[in-house]
């Protein structure tokens, strides 16, 4: 018999889906800002392998000459990004859900087994609760990263008034680099996340919209067949 098994609470689902467009707008407006001084790339022994970003990419997304607009969007949506994050973190602490989220002492070893399983090297998974060990690490890391974006962002935004934050980030230059690296990491996280969600299938995806998964349970003896009608 198919049975409802509750998985994600309403607040977890809302903050998840609210975060998606906000983060997309933050990344897009961030690119409008970054364009004005696009100095980052990956250079090893004199050869530049990646330049953030090539001209064709800017043209494709209509990035150039929109610094003022980018800043205006960025400094509005930063509020929503921060508030949404605060809601999620407060909820996770107060509800006690952090117990299912934070990695524990087994997680790092188990996460490796999960990776081997997902790569089809190992047949079995370690037993898991709401999140498996790799998920615990990934979903905790993404919250810490979000906090990192807020801190580095503030350090860049008000480097004089928050000079201690700027110092904590290793100075203005490093704060900008961290802010940028975190953004690139969100994009990588997103790509892996979408692949994993696709592979995990419909039941898992539905749980982030409806809140529950459907599991098959053996009907209990007192549930007789009359119920079918």
Partner 1 sequence: MKKPNGGLTSERKIKRRNFISFAVFGAYIAGTYACWRWLYKSPDETPGITAGAHKPLRKALNKTELFFRRLTFNENHLVKTYPRSMGAKKIRHNGDIGLEGKLPPEYWTLQVKKISGETLQITLDELMKLPKTAITYDFKCVEGWDQISHWEGVSFRDFMAHFKLEAESKMGYVGMETPDQHYYVGIDMPSAMHPQTLLAYQMNDELLNGSHGQPLRLIIPVKYGIKNLKRIGTIAFSNSRPRDYWAERGYDYYSGL
**Residue 5 interacting with partner 1 (CB under 8 A):** no
Q: Could you give the CA distance from residue 178 to residue 157 in angstroms, rounded to a whole number?
A: 14
- DSSP SS3 for 163: helix
Residue selected from 23, 73, 132, 183 as contacting partner 1 according to rule CB under 8 A: 73
176 lines the binding site for partner 1 (CB under 8 A):
yes
Distance CA 84, CA 82 (A): 6
**Which is nearer to partner 1, 130 or 206 (by Cβ)?**
206
- Three-state SS across 125-181? CCCCCCCCHHHHHHHHHHHHHHHHHHHHHHHHHCCCCCHHHHHHCCCHHHHHHHHHH
By CB under 8 A, residue 145 contacts partner 1: no
Tell whether residue 91 is a contact of partner 1 (CB under 8 A): no
**209 counts as binding partner 1 under rule CB under 8 A:** yes
Nearer to partner 1, 144 or 194 (CB): 194
Q: Does residue 148 interact with partner 1 by CB under 8 A?
A: no
Binding mask 19-38 for partner 1 (x = CB under 8 A): --x---x-------xx-xx-
Distance of CA 10 to the CA centre of its chain: 18
Separation of alpha carbons 185 and 194, rounded Å? 14
Q: What is the CA radius of gyration of the chain?
A: 22
Stretch of 75-83, 92-100, 101-109, 118-126 contacting partner 1, by CB under 8 A: 75-83
CB-CB contact of 110 with 132 (8 Å): yes
Binding site for partner 1 (CB under 8 A): 1-4, 17, 21, 25, 33-34, 36-37, 39, 67-69, 71-73, 75-76, 79, 158-163, 172-173, 176, 206, 209-212, 214, 226-227, 229
């Amino acid at each position: 018999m198919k049975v409802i098994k509750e998985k994600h609470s309403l607040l977890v689902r809302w903050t998840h889906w609210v975060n998606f467009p906000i983060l997309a707008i933050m990344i897009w407006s961030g690119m409008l800002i970054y364009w004005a001084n696009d100095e980052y790339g990956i250079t090893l022994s004199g050869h530049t392998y990646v330049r953030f970003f090539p001209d064709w990419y800017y043209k494709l997304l209509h990035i150039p000459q929109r610094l003022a607009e980018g800043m205006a969007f960025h400094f509005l949506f930063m509020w929503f990004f921060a508030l949404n994050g605060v809601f999620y973190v407060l909820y996770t602490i107060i509800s006690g859900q952090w117990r299912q989220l934070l990695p524990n002492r087994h997680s790092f070893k188990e996460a490796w087994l999960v990776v081997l399983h997902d790569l089809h090297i190992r047949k079995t998974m370690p037993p898991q609760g709401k999140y498996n060990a790799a998920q615990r690490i990934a979903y905790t890391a993404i919250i810490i990263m979000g906090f990192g974006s807020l801190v580095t962002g503030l350090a860049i935004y008000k480097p004089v008034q928050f000079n201690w934050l700027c110092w904590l980030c290793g100075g203005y230059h490093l704060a900008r680099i961290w802010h940028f690296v975190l953004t690139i990491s969100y994009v990588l996280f997103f790509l892996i996340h979408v692949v994993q969600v696709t592979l995990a299938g419909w039941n898992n995806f539905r749980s982030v919209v409806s809140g529950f998964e459907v599991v098959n349970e053996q009907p209990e003896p007192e549930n007789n067949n009359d119920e079918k009608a």
